[in-house]
Amino acid sequence: MVDEKRKTMIKEMQDEKPYHVFDKRKKWGVVVMIGVAGLFSGLSSNIYFPSLDAIAKDLNVSLNAVSLTITSYLIIQGISPLFWGSLSDTIGRRPIYIYSFLVYIISNIALSFSPNFAVLLIFRGLQAAGSASTVSIGNGVIQDITPPAERGGFISFYQAIRNFSIAIGPVLGGLLANFFGFRSIFIFLLIISSLTLGAIVVFLPETLRRIAGNGSLRLTGIHKSLLQRFTKESSYIEDRDDTYTPPKVTSKTFIEPLLLLKEKDILLSLIFGGVIYAIWSMVTASTTGLFKQAFRLNEVLLGLAFIPNGLGTIVGSTIIGNLLNKSYKQAEDTYKQTHGIPATQSLPKKALPADFPLEHARLAYITPTTILFIFSTALYGFSLSPSLTSKPGWIALPLVLQFFIAATSNAVFAVNQTLVSDLCPGKGASSTALNNLVRCSMGAVGVAFVEQMISGVGVQATFLGLALVVVVVSPCVVVQWYWGMGWRGERGARKEREELAKGKGMGGKV
């Protein structure tokens, strides 16, 4: 029976069509383009940080009031991808990219005037609604065009491109705010987002598998890029089966992603990743106030102070991407050897076997990464002690610790996002949107209270306490390591039973 099952699996793998017709070069081209589109979520947030004090003075409000615009941004950033991501999993990636960028452009037009704090607060939320979707849609695109064996590297590279905005954003924000006023930030964002939208319209093809298949189905209407309209069609393009009917957008479309919270393994991943994200957000959001007070920096120097944080996000994402591909390859080779599958044969690309140790492959490097994050966060608070910050050159230490906090936290995000995507096949954008909701909700709460925490108990106790919070939630990873595969198997079996029952029901109607 076991031999027969193995033979059947090998035959299915041999008969399986390519996961996607795009070659490596075209896949990288698509990932670079969606990475540029994804820049705007982080850029819109981080370009803003160095100008917080200037905004408070210009609009005659307190720094705490201006911090509310960060909180509101994070809240909308968490909620809106559920709307956009669910739609992109239903009607396509390309139209949602276009619609969300239009929302973003309109918000930047309003923000470039910002006559008062109310306008700033409202349109910062609208700006978040337009930009945040690019992250979840981008992860959906990667799931569309890459099999699990390649996915970790592509997701990490995609995250590294997006994180470039975290490195360069504060520098640009500091320069623009210092020389042209904070409103020039939104004019700059308006110009580059308009150019990006133009590039999407011209070059980006539709990738949603229910519309484009593995890239071989003929596209029409808004799903077809301008470039495809004016160039010769590839030889592998074919017409869709006439039986296909486009899915309808209903209330279930938007509720369905929330149902993933019922899955134990997915919920544990989201909680752990959300806590790490909240703490990193608190470190970033409090930098302006802490460094201005401790080191007397102006807007330009404050912008430069964010560079180690931004570089850390890029370095962490890049390194973990290579490690994720390496650990997956090792797990795949071991699995094939154990199950008598030829070494040259790849595992099924659409649905991995239930007994494949996916969780071990993805979480292989999470322990040392988390330990380094805990120690860096704890030491960061002590590095900003008032008795030490007056020493010459002392600013280097908290900046180095910010680099490690950013590198390790973003490595965790890449692992977290890759695993959640693997656990939700066919729901790349929706699962990312849910991940975004949990992370941004926790981040919004953290950012809302970080200033009060620092004022109340001091900077040392604040970040030591946050490091201990990570220790408390670390068992989430341990539980998933030991029981995650079993839960994934149960979910797969339940889905098969539901599809079988649905098939019988349809047969009965006929």
Give pLDDT tens digits for 399-445.
Answer: 999 999 999 999 999 899 889 888 887 777 778 778 888 888 898 88
Indicate the average pLDDT of the chain.
86
Report residues of the chain scoring pLDDT below 50. 1-2, 509-510
Query: Residue 69 has what pLDDT?
Result: 86
Pick the CATH number of 18-230+252-509 from 3.30.70.100, 2.60.120.10, 3.10.20.30, 1.20.1250.20: 1.20.1250.20
Domain residue spans of the chain: 18-230+252-509
Q: Is 258 exposed, middle or buried (0-12, 13-18, 19+ CB in 10 A)?
A: middle
Distance (Å, whole) CA 98 – CA 93: 9
Contact 140, 429 (CB under 8 A): yes
The structure tokens listed for 243 are: 């039986």
* pLDDT, tens digit, 9 for 90 and up, residues 100-148: 999 999 999 999 988 899 999 999 999 999 998 888 888 889 989 988 8
Rounded CA separation 420/424 (Å): 6
Chain centroid, CA 259 distance in Å: 20
Over residues 66-98, the pLDDT tens digits come to 878 888 887 888 788 888 888 888 899 999 999
Which pLDDT belongs to residue 120?
A: 92
pLDDT score recorded for residue 193: 96
* Cβ(284)–Cβ(303) below 8 Å: no
| Contact criterion met (CB below 8 Å) for 358 and 420 | no
